[in-house]
Amino acid sequence: MSPQPRLVLNVDDTEAVRYAKTRTLQRAGYEVIEAGTGADALRLVDEREPSVVLLDVKLPDYSGIEICRIIKRDRPWILVLQVSASFVASADKARGLDSGADSYMAQPAEPEELVAAVRALFRLHDAENALRRLNDELEQRVADRTRELADSNARLQAEILERAKAEAALVQSQKMEAVGQLTGGIAHDFNNLLAAVVGGLSLIQRRSKEQPIVELAGHAMHAAQRGVKLISQLLAFSRTQELEAKPVDVNGLILGMQNLLVQSIGPTVAISTDLDPQAGHVLADANQLELALVNLAINARDAMAGNGRITLSTKVEPQPGSALKWIVVAVEDDGPGMPDAVRERAFDPFFTTKPAGQGTGLGLSQVYGVARQLGGRATIESQEGRGTKVMILLPQAQDFEAPILAAPLKDVPGGNGETVLLIEDDDDVRRVLSDALVELGYQIAVAENGVEAIAIVEGSPVDVVVLDYVMPGMTGAETAKRLKAIRPDLPIVFASGHADTRALADVPGAHRLLRKPFAFDELAQRLREELTRGA
């Protein structure tokens, strides 16, 4: 049985990624069938005999490497293009090609790159079929053999060129990943710097009796908070920011970001709101929702060439077949609108209508991804000459308790002489936190690393620990585990400027986390909670 012409089997366990690749290939004229597991992939290979298999390396039941070996063992004429978003090193590529794969590509890939890679495999498939026919008809078509082999060689040369382009794209992808990791590290360092700045300003506000100084400290604190927001955006770019879905007053969020919108899009664009008073609260990450709305507003400004009106609106809609409701958050402009072909691809990663160098094509795809990650979805309404409306549908928060606002520092109960062990490797942050803890009425013991902290707990009475998460040598999570082994009942409050804190899940009973930079009222409140709980 020979493979069916132009039939591609797309194997990927992530539905959104699988859908995007299928849609791209269908638009290029290929018939595509899908599988979400290795077992389904092998079944479809038996039933449909595709010409090309687009195979994800990481599957829930089998490894893509193993599936490739089985396909190549039983049907060597089927061509396999392995793809991966996780295994992109040279060794990973070599392992994939050694398993029999005909090509290897890192995800995410631009649609044009994916189509070009599949087209190259079909050219290789056609060349192999041509050679097979030549062998079958060798005696009858000796005169044509040289021409056919020359054509085959040309196609193989084209395949070499396509593979070279794919390797260049892989290098670019690795560079972007390195930039993301660098950005995350820089953001962590800036969080530590801001922690010292915010802490020092808090002490000035608390200790100073002169109103002009208090006001100046307040202005500086406002600027520092803007720095905190910038760091949050850097972490979002580096994809290390964890989304925290909490009840958010969506109308209040939109009204509170009016100044930010004016600064972002300029004075030549008018901004208006149409807010449903019944919208209430949505389950969202406030920082990421605000960032998405700002990005949509900037896109709208660019579409209107800097002149026009942007309207931010909210409304309540029922969820079909459910008692729950959607809160629709929309950004609408009166610009030129989108042609149907552009609107259909607007959420596709790397798709952009802007000139080269003026857009990455990731803005709308990030909005779509945030909406999906928060349990909602994103849609677009647009017609040429009638503007564009991008809508983010998020679930309405149900039966939540309004957050209790932290009291000002002077109203938060301080310490009663309890001993706080402060473990912090940054000198500036350690000095500021030490001053704050003394100001709050605590006795302090100080350690610069986990080894010093363990010695203190073994030899001195300690009531509660404030522990930095990221430290050289023994990490915060490792230190906490050692301290818990000595004192299982010892309360631990983590203070972290790092975004990725998944290792805390392995620390028993030590999940109280303060995000740097934090105000001292937060620190005071958290310490009283821990000491009261342990009493």
CB-CB contact of 58 with 86 (8 Å): yes
In this structure, the answer to whether residues 217 and 262 fall within a common structural domain is: no
Burial class (CB in 10 A: 0-12, 13-18, 19+), 269: buried
What does the DSSP assignment read for 397-465?
A: P-S-PPPPPPPPGGGS---SS-EEEEE---HHHHHHHHHHHHHTT-EEEEESSHHHHHHHHHHS--SEE
Burial class (CB in 10 A: 0-12, 13-18, 19+), 16: exposed
Domain endpoint, select from 237, 259, 284: 237
* 156 is a domain residue: no
Identify the CA nearest to 302 among candidates 343, 336, 327: 336
Residue range 170-197, pLDDT digits in tens: 554 454 455 445 455 555 566 666 666 6
- pLDDT score at 107: 82
Report the number of distinct structural domains present in the chain: 4
In this structure, the answer to whether residues 304 and 220 fall within a common structural domain is: no
Identify the CA nearest to 364 among candidates 314, 305, 297, 270: 297
* 481 is a domain residue: yes
- pLDDT score at 505: 58
Identify the CA nearest to 332 among candidates 360, 308, 366, 355: 308
In this structure, the answer to whether residues 387 and 414 fall within a common structural domain is: no
Owning domain of residue 443: 409-534
In this structure, the answer to whether residues 301 and 224 fall within a common structural domain is: no
In this structure, the answer to whether residues 118 and 193 fall within a common structural domain is: no
Domain endpoint, select from 395, 424, 458: 395
* 484 is a domain residue: yes
Q: Is 393 helix (H, G, I), strand (E, B) or coil?
A: strand
* 143 is a domain residue: no
Compute how many other C-beta atoms are within 10 angstroms of the C-beta atom of residue 21.
Answer: 25
Q: Would the pTM count as exceeding 0.95?
A: no
Cα–Cα distance for residue pair 346/351, rounded to 1 Å? 7
* 364 is a domain residue: yes
* CATH code assigned at 308: 3.30.565.10
Hey, what are 482's tokens?
Answer: 């050692």
Domain endpoint, select from 136, 170, 187: 136
In this structure, the answer to whether residues 346 and 433 fall within a common structural domain is: no
In this structure, the answer to whether residues 298 and 356 fall within a common structural domain is: yes
- pLDDT score at 311: 93
In this structure, the answer to whether residues 334 and 464 fall within a common structural domain is: no
What does residue 360 show for φ and ψ, rounded to 5 degrees? Answer: -90, -15
Cα–Cα distance for residue pair 198/168, rounded to 1 Å? 44
In this structure, the answer to whether residues 191 and 252 fall within a common structural domain is: no
What does the DSSP assignment read for 115-169?
A: HHHHHHHHHHHHHHHHHHHHHHTTTT-HHHHHHHHHHHHHHHHHHHHHHHHHHHH
In this structure, the answer to whether residues 298 and 390 fall within a common structural domain is: yes
In this structure, the answer to whether residues 22 and 101 fall within a common structural domain is: yes
Amino acid at 231: I
Instruction: Show the low-confidence residues of the chain (pLDDT under 70).
Output: 1-5, 132, 136, 139, 142-143, 165-166, 168-203, 205-209, 214, 217-219, 221-244, 347-363, 365-366, 369, 399-413, 497-513, 517, 519, 534-535
CB-CB contact of 423 with 397 (8 Å): no
- pLDDT score at 501: 54
DSSP β-bridge partners for residue 392: 329, 378
In this structure, the answer to whether residues 45 and 101 fall within a common structural domain is: yes
Q: Is 535 helix (H, G, I), strand (E, B) or coil?
A: coil
* CATH code assigned at 86: 3.40.50.2300
Burial class (CB in 10 A: 0-12, 13-18, 19+), 145: middle
* 25 is a domain residue: yes
Q: Is 325 helix (H, G, I), strand (E, B) or coil?
A: strand
- pLDDT score at 411: 56
* 208 is a domain residue: yes
* 400 is a domain residue: no
